[in-house]
């Protein structure tokens, strides 16, 4: 986008949202996606339609602490003032955390090297204030060691077709993705899954976590995870964990970007 004085300023925004009431990140004809709410707020600030490009989609009901998007727009009053204006027009369940001018080399989607997702599960019953952001495990008991062994099968480059769902509409995505790290941590209160990788298919993280819960409960052997992965076919054996426990935690833009945190 250009005007008479050269290219318009590009802005990078890192935002968090509670995805409960939204149909996911990506714009919808029904206008009930996070991106719709963001573009509506920007249109009010700039008095003209503004197109945003996100780092990737999150599904309906999934949350984000660090979703990234960019847009091009002229603004003379500094990033702080724009952030203030943005917060005025956004609903309380969407919160821009960082807003900064960047060079035109930056592209929220194609500059991204990978992402980190976190899945939160609470042992027992979650407090009402947390209920929208985690899965309550209630009375279930899990074999953590078996889950950790099974999780190792996901690390590396694989065809993840067996752990993805179809988006329908004839969309075809390359099913080969690389998982760099999958870590399960257990505290007195919660089970937390942290997954980092180059990219993720539709419902892939939730499917991986769902399968690990089945391993933890002894419903499937930990070694079966490798067999399921090798089939490259989705079956009813793999059940996705509910969306509400999942957060897009961080988008990586350089090879050293937080990968060793």
Tell which residue, 172, 179, 200, 182, has the closest CA to residue 56. 200
Tokens of 191: 């089970």
DSSP characters for 22-40? SS-SS--TTS-SHHHHHHH
Please tell me the distance from the alpha carbon of residue 123 to that of residue 140, in angstroms, as a whole number.
Answer: 8
How many helices (DSSP H) and strands (DSSP E) are in the chain?
A: 5, 12
Coil, helix or strand at residue 72: strand
168 φ/ψ angles, rounded to the nearest 5 degrees: 70, -160
Cβ atoms of 215 and 89 closer than 8 Å: no
Please tell me the distance from the alpha carbon of residue 164 to that of residue 59, in angstroms, as a whole number.
Answer: 12
Tell which residue, 151, 161, 163, has the closest CA to residue 204. 163
Which of 5, 59, 143, 159 does the annotation list as catalytic? 59
59 tagged catalytic = yes
Please tell me the distance from the alpha carbon of residue 34 to that of residue 175, in angstroms, as a whole number.
Answer: 26
Cβ-based neighbour number of residue 97 at 10 Å:
12
Please tell me the distance from the alpha carbon of residue 63 to that of residue 256, in angstroms, as a whole number.
Answer: 25
In eight-state DSSP terms, residue 242 is P
Active site residues: 59
């Amino acid at each position: 986008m250009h005007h008479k004085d050269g290219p318009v300023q590009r802005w990078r925004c890192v935002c968090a949202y509670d995805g409960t009431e939204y149909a996911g990140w990506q714009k919808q004809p029904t206008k009930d996606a996070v991106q719709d709410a963001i573009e509506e707020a920007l249109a009010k600030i700039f008095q003209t339609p503004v197109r945003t490009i996100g780092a990737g989609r999150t599904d309906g009901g999934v949350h984000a602490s660090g979703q990234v998007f960019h847009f091009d727009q002229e603004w003379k009053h500094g990033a702080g003032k724009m952030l203030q204006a943005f917060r005025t027009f956004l609903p309380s369940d969407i919160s821009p955390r960082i807003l900064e001018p960047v060079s035109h080399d930056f592209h929220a989607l194609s500059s991204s090297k990978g992402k980190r997702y976190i899945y939160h599960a609470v042992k027992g019953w979650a407090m009402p204030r947390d209920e929208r952001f985690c899965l309550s495990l209630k009375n279930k008991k899990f074999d953590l060691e078996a889950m950790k062994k099974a999780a190792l099968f996901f690390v590396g480059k694989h065809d993840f077709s067996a752990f993805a769902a179809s988006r329908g509409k004839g969309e075809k995505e390359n099913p080969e993705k690389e998982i760099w790290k999958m870590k399960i941590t257990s505290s007195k209160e919660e089970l937390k899954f942290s997954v980092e990788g180059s990219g993720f298919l539709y419902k892939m993280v939730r499917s991986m976590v769902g399968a690990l819960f089945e391993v933890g409960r002894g419903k499937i052997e930990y070694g079966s995870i490798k067999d399921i992965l090798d089939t490259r076919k989705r079956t009813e054996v793999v059940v996705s964990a509910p969306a509400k426990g999942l957060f897009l935690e961080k988008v990586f833009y350089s090879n050293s970007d937080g990968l060793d945190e």
